A and B are shown apart, each in its own frame.
Chain A
């Protein structure tokens, strides 16, 4: 069963623009992670944010977490054509060891 719901399901932007993707989840979590997948290949871990953190940065990525609203957002700044991919949020529920529960994903297209 899906824990996370990403929004929007698809996003198309111009190169250089910022892309914002949202994720909502249902239960209390230990941490939330974002992954990227290119054309049905393996998932690439982008960033992890723990439940006691509110914001995290990694290069052009910025992730926020609001545990009171059970939501997270991923911002990619100055997007590039190479950022075209599917993006997934995944949560690790409290007490669930390290099992990841994924959302359905967001398809991001960055037009050159």
Chain B
């Protein structure tokens, strides 16, 4: 079966812009989580959605938001981009335990 698909793979944005990243989970998986990975902070949890509801949220400012659609696809949005938002953004889906991660979207803010 297909894995977790994240689009786009690479993105370059300018400070102050906004960006939307997309994640399609494995078919049948209802939980989708987002993580940010940077060299300085490592892997940090952003939020988790389950059946279109945000079930868990990490310690990120309100500029980071997400949503999940009825087909379990998820999007995350970052508004008013800052240089520090440059990172690899990973999406993961799970039936219950043991996440499957996508290849990530590498966002560069210039």
Please tell me the number of chain B residues within 8 Å of chain A, measured between CB atoms.
28
Taking a contact as CB atoms under 8 Å apart, the answer to whether B42 and A105 are in contact is yes
Q: Is B98 an interface residue (CB 8 A)?
A: yes
Interface status of B75 (Cβ within 8 A of chain A): no
- Chain B residues with Cβ below 8 Å from A41 are 103-104
Q: Counting CB contacts under 8 A, is A71 at the interface?
A: no
Which of A16-24, A77-85, A96-104 has 4 or more CB atoms under 8 Å from chain B?
A96-104
A-B contact pairs, 8 of them (CB 8 A): A35-B101, A42-B4, A42-B103, A43-B43, A99-B33, A99-B58, A100-B99, A105-B42
* A100 and B97 contacting across the interface, CB-CB below 8 Å: no
Q: Are A40 and B88 in contact (CB under 8 A)?
A: yes
Q: Kindly state whether residue B102 has any CB partner on chain A within 8 Å.
A: yes
Q: Is the CB of A42 within 8 A of B45?
A: no
Per-position 1/0 for B89-102, Cβ under 8 A of A: 01010101111111
Q: Which residues of A contact B (CB under 8 A)?
A: 1-2, 31, 33, 35, 40-45, 48, 88, 90, 92, 96-105
Number of CB contacts from chain A to chain B under 8 A: 66
Q: Which B73-110 residues have C-beta < 8 A from chain A?
A: 88, 90, 92, 94, 96-104, 106
The contact of B56 among A45, A90, A99, A103, by CB within 8 Å, is A99
B104 and A45 within 8 A (CB): no
In the docked arrangement, what's the CA distance between A40 and B59, Å?
A: 23
B97 / chain A contacts, CB cutoff of 8 Å? 31, 33, 48, 92, 98
Given the interface pairs A98-B33, A100-B33, the reply to whether A33 lies near B103 with Cβ below 8 Å is no
Whole-angstrom CA separation of A33 from B33 in the bound complex: 16
Query: What residues of chain A lie closer than 8 Å to B24, measured between beta carbons?
Result: none
A90–B99 Cα gap in the complex (Å)? 11
